[in-house]
Amino acid sequence: MAYPFDPITKFIFLETEIEHADVILVPGGSHPQLMEKASEIHLKMLDILLRY
């Protein structure tokens, strides 16, 4: 059965190479802990990238 949000799901979950991002998308993020952890990981990686 097709759902109205299927095109959005196909757009968001593409298989691509990892690249720099300015936005973090946390699907199904109704719990702030998920967003906080994603932000923490992003900031750690940004720190590592800026050192080099």
Tell me, yes or no, whether 48 lies in a domain.
yes
Would you say 29 and 35 are in contact if contact means Cβ atoms under 8 Å apart?
Answer: yes
Give the pLDDT score at 45.
84
- pLDDT value at position 25? 76
pTM higher than the cut 0.85: no
- Please report whether residue 47 resides in a domain: yes
Counting the structural domains of the chain, the total is 1
| Model pLDDT for residues 4-49, shown as the tens digit of each residue | 888 887 777 767 777 777 777 777 767 888 888 888 988 898 888 8
| Domain that includes residue 49, residue range | 28-52
User: Does some domain include residue 7?
Assistant: no
> 12 lies in a domain?
no
Q: With respect to residue 1, please indicate whether it lies within any of the assigned structural domains.
A: no
State the pLDDT at residue 31.
Answer: 82
pLDDT at 29: 65
